[in-house]
Structure 1
């Protein structure tokens, strides 16, 4: 099964920023989308996530056009993530709270992710007051907490100190291995893509290149 992107074109006025005839992304794999600034990486991610409806073509997941039901099992982590004005614990637990998961299970999952990402010291801090790097770590934890079927990441480690990038990459790989989740990660860092990804797609001026 796969994520299928067919005849997708995106324009801003007369400028075409994305032009993809056909692209298939394997499910249960980690796929990297790389390219320079302005190559269309984030635009493609937003279209897959359903945040941009003003484009030609369509995106299908496992043969079905992405709809609200499928979106419940997917999540997008932005490069500049937004956190609620509540504790880090409550920010991370939020996806489970709205799904009615039992309190004991929520605590178990939150504490596990806090440990994996080595952010246990942030547990009781207010999310909206964190640094950029801390915010990215918490946003990743919040996205992983409900084991989404499709995880979309836009430059997830761009503000992270080098010594902590390994923690985040390990969490992403652990999620893929344990839950067989599909990961699509946009990154300008080719070395990171090579470390994390089963497949790498390169974009140049909105087109897929070999």
Structure 2
């Protein structure tokens, strides 16, 4: 039997509260249950003070189930890394303009780890649609290494630091930094975009204007 393709939706909580609820449940399953992060949760949902009307979400779906996600917030507004981890920007300050966008709560369920590159592709499509100069993030070290391995450059704002502990007591090492979005797309950028060239993508957050997203 042929495997059903992945699909994606860009949305905000005001227009799609049903998808927002699914996303908060996914974040609990992924970050709290699978990865063991110590995050506040309520009734099987993980959400924080940055889940406001300013946030745009991406949900990655398979067979009608959301299996991956990320959150995007313009850096002209309060955002997670700058607000809660200001001490990590020791080399250069966090940006504070709309041309930079923070990406947080990025991840895919372990059973769908093969779709991680598709989520990176969606991330690059988002950056392109927003005309972002850079995507800001607080990233664990393996995540930073993966970005470099698939050809996406990263720029650190400071050295790696311990940002928390997992349920088993293991330290969580992370670094604050950004993915610069080059004016002339690199071969790696174009290759990532090609991964979702024919993916069915619903733009319920009105990000892409007249750009045709779905095959």
TM surpasses 0.5:
no
Structure with more relative contact order (C-alpha pairs < 8 Å, separation 6 or more): 1
More helix by share: 1
TM-score norm. by structure 1 comes to: 0.30
